[in-house]
Amino acid sequence: MPKWLKRVLGTAATISVTLLGLLFVTFMIGRVMPIDPVLAVVGERASQAQYDAVYQELGLDKPLLVQFGIYITDVLQGDFGRSIRTGMPVSDDIARVFPATLELATLGTLLGVFLGVPLGVIAAVKRGSWIDQTARLVGLVGYSMPIFWLGLMGLLVFYGILGWVAGPGRVDIFYDGIVEPITGMLLLDSALRGEWDVFRNAFSHIVLPACLLGYFSLAYISRMTRSFMLEQLSSEYITTARVKGLSEWHVIWRHAFRNIRIQLITVIALSYANLLEGSVLTEIIFAWPGIGSYITVSLLANDMNAVLGGTVVIGVIFVGLNLFSDLLYRFFDPRSK
Q: Residue 84 is inside which H or E element, if any?
A: none
Q: Are both 188 and 165 inside the same structural domain?
A: yes
For residue 84, tell me if it sits in a domain: no
For residue 82, tell me if it sits in a domain: no
Single pTM value for the model:
0.83
Q: What is the mean pLDDT of each run of 10 residues along the chain (337 residues)?
A: 66 78 80 68 72 73 80 84 84 91 92 92 88 86 81 89 87 85 88 90 92 90 91 83 79 83 85 80 87 86 83 84 76 59
pLDDT on residue 80: 85
pLDDT on residue 99: 92
Domain enclosing residue 23, as ranges:
3-76
Q: Are both 248 and 139 inside the same structural domain?
A: yes
pLDDT on residue 87: 79
Closest CA to 65 of 17, 15, 24, 123: 24
Q: Are both 206 and 240 inside the same structural domain?
A: yes
Give the count of domains, the chain: 2
Encode burial over 44-55: b for 16+ CB neighbours within 10 A, e otherwise: eeeeeeebeebb
User: Would you call 293 helix, strand, or coil by DSSP?
Assistant: helix
pLDDT on residue 262: 81
Q: Are both 49 and 123 inside the same structural domain?
A: no
pLDDT on residue 104: 92
pLDDT on residue 111: 92
Q: Are both 43 and 142 inside the same structural domain?
A: no
DSSP string, 237-262: HHHHHHHTT--HHIIIIIIIHHHHHH
